[in-house]
Structure 1
Amino acid sequence: MSVQAYDDNNRRYFSTELLKWYQREQRDLPWRGSGDPYHIWVSEIMLQQTRVDTVIPYFNRFIERFPTLRHLAEAPEEDVLKHWEGLGYYSRARNLQSAVREVVAEYGAKVPDQKKQISSLKGVGPYTAGAILSIAYNQAEPAVDGNVMRVLSRYFLIEDDIARPATRVSMESLGQSLIPEGEAASFNQALMELGALVCTPKSPSCNTCPVGQHCAAKWESRERELPIKSKAKQPKRVYRLAALIEGTGEHEGQVLVRQRPNTGLLAKMWELPHVEVANEEVWDSLAEGGQWLESELNDQGVAIQVTRHMNEAQHIFTHLIWQVKVVGAVATNEHQLENLEGYAWVGPDQFENFVWPNIFRKLLTDYFKTANP
C-alpha cells in the first residue's frame, strides 16, 4: 500500500471534501429517506450485481408488497421470488427471506445493531453488514465493495490485487480510518456514490472529482490502470436444447413447462423442458440435436417429436453460460402428461402466475405475442 495512505492531512482532506460533495450531489434514492434498517438491508441485497436504476422500481414494488420484516418472513417463497423476478441471482432473495425469518424469531423483528449478530445472518457478508451498521445505525464500520476499492486504489495509489482477500481486509482498515466521527452513514454513502457516479471503471470523470486535486493515480496518469485485479476464471459455456411443446385440443394455445428442483440453480422456477447436449456440433444440427432432445425427454416421461428450429438465446450465470436453442415440438403422449409431476400446460392467461428465469420469460413472452397477436 502506498505510503500516501498514511498521510493524515491527505486522509482528512479526502473525507472532508467527499462529504461536502455528497451533501450537494447525493441522489434521491427511495431507501435513503427512511433510515429504516430493513429498507437499507433490502436495497443492499438488491444492489449486489445490479445497477441502481434497475433496482429502484423493484425496491419500491418489493417494499410495497412486504412493508415490514414480519410481512416478508410470513410470505410464501413463491410470492417473494415473483417480486424478485427479473433481478436474477435468486439465491439472494431466498437468503434474504431466511435471514429475515431468523431476525423475527431471534431478535423480535428488529435488525441487529451488533456486528457479530448481523454478520451471522444468511447472505450477509462483510460489506452488507458494514453498510447496514453504518447507514442505519451510524456506526463507524467500513462498507467496502468493488466501487469503494476502485476509489481507494486510485486515490491512494494502492497497487495490491483487489481480488485477494488480504487486500480487502487492508482496504476495510483504511476505509474505517477515513470515517469522520459521527459521520459514518453519510461518509460510506458518499464513498459509494463517488465510485458509482465519478470514479467509474473505464472513464473516470477526474476533472469533476471532488477529491481529484490530491488523487495520486490522477497525478501519475494511472487512473485507468487501477485497481489491479487478477482475472477470474472464465465461465463455462454449455449448450442446451429446449423444447417448446405446443398443445392441441383443450391445450390449444398453451405450451408445456416444467418446474426446476427445490434446490440448486434457479430452484423452483419454471422453464421450457431442456437438456444439455454433448457439444456445439450436436447443438447446431437440428436432426442430430432433435434426436438427442427426443431421447432425453422420453426418458423423463415426455414423448415428443421435434418439428422445427424456432429461436436462440443466451443466459449468463457467474460460472456458466447457457447457450439455448429452442425447437418447436409436439407431444406424442399428450394425454399422459396431465398428471406428470412437475409439469404444467401454460397459456398467456396463466403466464404471470408462474416465476420464470429471465431467459424463459423473454422466450415465452415473444412466443405468446406471435402466437396470439
Structure 2
Amino acid sequence: MKGFSIAFFGSSLVSSYWNGAATYYRGLICALHARGHRVTFYEPDAFDRQQHRDMEDPPWAKVQVYSATEEGVFRSLEAAMGADIVVKASGVGVFDELLEKEVLSLKTADNKVVFWDVDAPATLERISHNPHDPFRSLIPGYDLILTYGGGDPVVDGYGSFGARECIPVYNALDPDTHHPVPSDHRFCADLAFLGNRLPDREKRVEEFFLRTAASLPHKRFLLAGSGWDDKQRPRNVDYLGHLGTASHNAFNCSPLAVLNISRESMAKNGFSPATRVFEAAGAGTCIITDSWQGIEQFFEPGKEILVAGSGEEVADILERLTPREASMVGLHAFARVRAEHTYAHRARQVEAIFMEEESSMGSYAGGAA
C-alpha cells in the first residue's frame, strides 16, 4: 500500500510547553510513519514553545514552524496543497478560526480534509452555548471529525451539528518513549500529580490533590506542570514547575502512586482518558484516577487502576495503599496498556479510517485495533 502524505496543523510537535497534546501527536505520527505514511507538521512560533523545545525535529516527521501571523498561516496553507490528508487540530493557539475556515479551501476530489479535536467536550460545550460561533457552520464541510476521545456523547454531539462522521481516536502509549526506569530521588513521594494549571482543571486539583495533601500532613506530595507558581499549597506539597517529557518516566516510576485529574469538561463527558494515564501505565505505575464514565473501557478498576470519587476517597486509598499493592496495580496496568492501548494500535485504526476499509468505523470504541 502506498502511504498517505499528511499535512497536519497543530499546536506543537517539538515542544510540550503549555501543550498537553504533544505526546498524543508524537505517538500517533511516529506510528503512522512506521506504517509508511509521510507527515508534515505545521506549527506556529507562539507561546515561547520554540524556546522550550524538549525534542529536535524527529526523523519520522517534517516540522514546519511558521510565523504567528496571517501571512505565516497562508504560506503554510499554500505549502500544504497537494497533501492526501489535511488535518486541522483544535487548539493551535493562534489564528484557529482562520485555519478552520481556510483548510477547507484545500479540499479536492482526491483528498480528505479532517478536523481533529483534542478537546472535543469543551469544543461542543462552547459551540452549543454560542449559536454565532463560526466553527458551527464549518463542521459539515469536513470529510471527517476525529477526536482525542469522548465516546458516544462526543460522536452524537458532533452529529447534531451536521458532521459527516465522527470517530474517537483515544490516547495511547508509545512504549519506546514511556517505559519503566529506575526510581529518582527527586521524584520520590507518596502521591504525584503532573498537569498544567488550566481554568477547568484548577478546582478539581484543589479537591483531589491539594485538599488530600492537607488532610495527610504526614505524607509527601509532588506537583509538576506550568502555572502553579503562585498557587497556595500545603507545606507537604513540593512544586517542580514545568517538567519536560524526558523526565516523565522517572516522575512516574518514583512515587508510590501518581494521580490523574481530568479537566472539568472531560470528567463531565466521560470516555476521555488523559495521555498521562497511558504514559504512567506504560511505566508500570500505580495510578489513582478521579472517577469518570467509561474507565472500564480502558482499565479494570481495582485491579489495573484505582478510582476515587472525591479528594476524601483519594486520601482513603493513599492511607491503606501498600508498596506491594501499588506494585501489583502497576504491573496489571502495564500488561493491559501494552496489549491493547499503544499508538501502533491507534495508527492501524487511523489508517483504516482514512482508507475507508470498514464501513462500521463510526461505532469503533477504545481497545485494541
TM-score by length of 2: 0.25
Question: Higher helix proportion, which one?
Answer: 1
**Length-normalised TM-score, structure 1:** 0.25
